């Protein structure tokens, strides 16, 4: 297995979800599986980074306690709040869709998501399609085998490079029902793709989803690329440098004011567009977790108006 080919930002997001579960006073998202996808080599590299960064790590890490230091570094990462908040928001929206009768869940860029493992009762009502790059998905499946996690027949792994083929083409190889509504999530992906690739994926979702389907996707405000970041500028620069060092630089954002128009042209209706700041007020109103939230990091919930199949 070539671990280097797997998405490092996806591994970091998995660890962040686990750190939140273990460390934050208000549990917004419960993910005890997140740690288990991290390979020993990846953890070793992170520990080495933690050791060299001990003085800069926030929190109360004690000398010699590398795990505490690693946790502190994760919690002070500018992307930490979004990872936690987008997971909770998406699963709340998914729960509402299940109540409305939707029985298909498609995770675009699934990474090391553990919904099928930790929400097994809810997942039993769904056909779940995890779509991701073959290298990342191969590592995830290997890790599932390593720690003996059985997978249900309703969980479908769809190895696909969406830069080379469309989502609807990838799903056509599976048991996905194009005539039935579905819930789509697309988290932590759009900022790493060029504009044309993002637009192609939105078009593909519109073709895949029957009327009534929903999509939740995360994005960053394009103002961050144009020097109009305001108070978010420094945090964004730090995050941008961090992901670039991982070999996965930010390349694209969306303009919130134009989002409804852009989606509507694709048969997609914007139902809600919220910032991390708004979501933190919703899920942690007293601010006990002290999340470093941003108005420029956002989530959009979209409904598919008409089937384009």
pTM for this predicted structure: 0.89
Q: What are phi and psi of 130, to 5 degrees?
A: -95, 115
Tens of pLDDT, residue by residue over 209-227, are 999 999 999 999 998 887 6
Nearest-CA neighbor of 42 among 90, 112, 106, 94? 112
Tens of pLDDT, residue by residue over 241-298, are 777 776 778 889 999 999 999 999 999 999 999 999 999 999 999 999 999 888 899 9
Q: CA 214 to CA 164: how far, in whole Å?
A: 24
The answer for residues whose C-beta is within 8 angstroms of residue 238's C-beta and 6 or more apart is 78
Q: What percent of the chain has pLDDT over 70?
A: 86
- At 41 the pLDDT is 77
In the predicted model, is pLDDT for residue 96 greater than 90?
yes
Nearest-CA neighbor of 193 among 225, 219, 216? 219
Residue 26's pLDDT band (cuts 50, 70, 90) = very high
Q: What is the DSSP letter of 225?
A: G
In the predicted model, is pLDDT for residue 309 greater than 80?
no
Q: CA 132 to CA 165: how far, in whole Å?
A: 12
Tens of pLDDT, residue by residue over 141-158, are 999 999 888 778 899 999
């Amino acid at each position: 297995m070539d671990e280097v080919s797997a998405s490092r930002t996806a591994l970091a997001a998995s660890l962040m979800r686990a750190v939140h579960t273990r460390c934050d006073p208000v549990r917004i998202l419960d993910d005890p599986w997140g740690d288990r996808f991290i390979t020993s080599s990846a953890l070793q590299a992170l520990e080495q980074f933690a050791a060299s960064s001990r003085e800069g790590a926030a929190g109360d890490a004690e000398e010699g306690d590398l795990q505490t230091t690693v946790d502190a570094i994760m919690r002070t990462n500018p992307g930490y709040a979004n990872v936690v908040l987008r997971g909770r928001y998406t699963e709340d929206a998914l729960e509402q869709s299940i109540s409305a009768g939707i029985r298909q869940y498609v995770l675009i860029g699934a990474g090391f998501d553990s919904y099928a493992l930790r929400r097994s009762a809810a997942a039993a009502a769904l056909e779940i399609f995890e779509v991701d790059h073959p290298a990342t998905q191969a590592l995830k499946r290997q890790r599932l085998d390593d720690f003996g996690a059985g997978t249900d027949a309703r969980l479908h792994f769809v190895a696909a490079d969406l830069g080379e083929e469309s989502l609807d083409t990838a799903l056509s190889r599976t048991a996905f029902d194009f005539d039935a509504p579905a819930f789509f999530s697309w988290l932590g992906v759009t900022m790493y793709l060029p504009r044309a690739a993002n637009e192609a994926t939105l078009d593909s979702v519109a073709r895949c989803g029957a009327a009534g389907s929903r999509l939740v996707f995360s994005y960053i405000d394009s103002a961050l690329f144009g020097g109009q970041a305001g108070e978010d500028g420094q945090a964004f620069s730090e995050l941008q440098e961090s992901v670039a060092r991982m070999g996965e630089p930010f390349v694209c954002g969306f303009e919130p004011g134009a989002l409804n128009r852009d989606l509507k042209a694709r048969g997609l209706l914007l139902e809600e567009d919220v910032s991390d700041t708004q979501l933190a007020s919703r899920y942690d109103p007293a601010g006990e977790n002290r999340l470093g939230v941003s108005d420029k990091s956002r989530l959009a919930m979209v409904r598919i108006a008409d089937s384009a199949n």
